[in-house]
Amino acid sequence: MRTTLTTLNSLPEGILDCKATRLHELLSGPTLIHLQGQKQQPMFISVLLHGNEYTGLLAIQSLLQKYHDKPLPRSLSILFGNIEAARLGVRKLEDGPDFNRIWPGMEHPPCVESKIMQAVVDEMQQRDVFISVDVHNNTGLNPHFACVNSLQAEFLNLANLFSRLTVYFLRPKGVQSAAFAKMCPAVTLECGKPGVQYGIEHAADFLDTCLHLDSLPNTPPPHHNIDLFHTVARVMIPEQYSFSFDNSNADLLLNASIDRMNFTEINAGTVLGRTKTNSSIPLYSRAENGMDNTAEYFQVDNGVLSTRKAVMPSMFTLNETVIRQDCLCYLMERMTDQSLFKKPIIS
């Protein structure tokens, strides 16, 4: 891949109907494209930070086709991310980093790709970015929802334009939305599974709405208009444990319909699977401060893995590759105290 960021001021011919798997024929690597609009302060959009999550690309193509013969209401800066992973239809390259874990603030050592993302941030800071939108998909059964890294009113109002379901999180580190939250209201869109038409239309409509914004309200959304959740744990399976959804010989045999629990408030004692590890828990979770909180949320009794307390999971997936590359799920708790909605921007 290229070791520097490519920057363009116009769209390459053919990009508006190019499939994600063929973008490498038009773009040599991570590429930032600036398009002039009527309002100068640009909106930033990133797509394909995960190469197999291509709804963002299709939404951008739909949006720009709409404006092919008329001016954009606002300037746009679009980052096309992991082109090589998109070529292969995978989340990330086997020997490469996750493109949504290498932005400023990351916990990993610097790499070539993280320097590219730093260059993107520097460029957009110089351009006085207006808002930032990062478009993603997920592999499990999830409703459409938005994620923010700040509880400032502008962030919540931006998220609320996409969905009443909003998730506030501080981990994992090194994500695009957290990097841009230092500069402007920033949101991550979770648009369901890749390529679903409703997800494409929902994302495109949201982006079009954002193009017409002059500002965002500085008072929080009304309590009855938003369901706000706080991520309290990221759950992973240690490498030393095998796991499966259908192989009873694995150390951990997970419930084959586990992703149906996403965005459902499940009770203490909810069974997640069976394990051969006896009393040891074959997974671990980390709080937003990085501390181990596994024992707070999980228990094993007579080979049955279950929840220790009531909680709401998100992003449960049946994709074993994604589980190994990222995580099994996140755990959330509902936020009901509106005084928290004025919490300052992340540090």
Cα distance between residue 342 and residue 218, in whole Å: 10
DSSP type of residue 336: -
pTM above 0.75, yes or no: yes
Give the CA dihedral 239, 292, 101, 19, nearest 10 degrees.
Answer: 60
Left if phi > 0, otherwise alpha if psi is -120 to 50, otherwise beta: which for 177? alpha
Q: If we measure between CA atoms, which residue out of 165, 162, 75, 72 comes closest to residue 124?
A: 75
Cis peptide bond upstream of 238, omega within 30 = no
Mean pLDDT by 10 residues, the chain (347 residues): 85 97 96 98 98 98 96 98 97 95 93 96 98 95 96 97 96 95 98 96 98 96 92 94 92 94 94 87 92 95 93 93 93 77 49
Cα distance between residue 130 and residue 321, in whole Å: 36
pLDDT of residue 337: 64
Q: If we measure between CA atoms, which residue out of 248, 239, 230, 212 comes closest to residue 324?
A: 239
Cα distance between residue 52 and residue 102, in whole Å: 18
- Asked whether 49 and 82 are in contact (CB, 8 A), the reply is yes
Given CA atoms 176, 181, 183, 187 in this order, what sign does their dihedral have? positive
pLDDT of residue 342: 56
Q: Helix, strand, coil: what percent of the chain each, to 5?
A: 25, 25, 50
- Asked whether 231 and 332 are in contact (CB, 8 A), the reply is yes
Cis peptide bond upstream of 110, omega within 30 = no
